[in-house]
Amino acid sequence: MSQLMENQAFKAFTTYAAIVTLKMILMGPVTVYFRFTRKSFINEEDVAWMSEEQKKKLLKTHPDVERARRCHYNDLENIIPFFFIGLLYALSGPELSSALLHFRIFTAARIFHSFAYILVLPQPSRALSYFLGMLVTFSMAYSLLSKVFFL
């Protein structure tokens, strides 16, 4: 591990992977925030101490909560592939400047995607940030496979 940490591209990957993973984890508390402020719960046990009438009001979905959940899910769809492809890419000996460019663009795109989704920014802002992030992952995969392709 200490030898790996001398690899600058790996260190950069570790930093950006931690940032996007923490961002993804934060979508949980964001969803909790919307659940409480929009009074929208999904599990009986979450409102067990309430009266039957209150339960009926609280056990419902709310568009803002569902939006935060979709945003979290979209992170899972994109950040997990980034993690695996980015790790292999970082270990394949890329130029540090190129690796940093990939990691920075991906991180900025995913942070922007969350803001665009939660703040309901007009399209195509969210779609563009999604495609930009995906493009970075494909670019890293291309760079990786062009070095290690072996069938």
**Token digits of residue 44:** 């009986």
Shortest Å distance, C-beta 102 to ligand GSH: 19
Write out the residues near ligand GSH by the rule CB under 6 A: 70, 74, 77, 126-127, 130
Name which of 35 and 113 has its Cβ closer to ligand GSH. 113
Shortest Å distance, C-beta 27 to ligand GSH: 12
Cβ-count burial of 23 within 10 angstroms (0-12 exposed, 13-18 middle, 19+ buried)? middle
Name which of 47 and 132 has its Cβ closer to ligand GSH. 132
Q: From 17, 129, 130, 4, select the one nearest 83 (Cα to Cα).
A: 17
Shortest Å distance, C-beta 71 to ligand GSH: 7
Name which of 57 and 70 has its Cβ closer to ligand GSH. 70
Check the CA dihedral 134-100-109-74 and report its sign.
positive
Residue 48: partners with Cβ closer than 8 Å, 6 or more residues away: none
Shortest Å distance, C-beta 2 to ligand GSH: 38
Name which of 66 and 145 has its Cβ closer to ligand GSH. 66
Q: From 84, 86, 82, 106, select the one nearest 94 (Cα to Cα).
A: 86
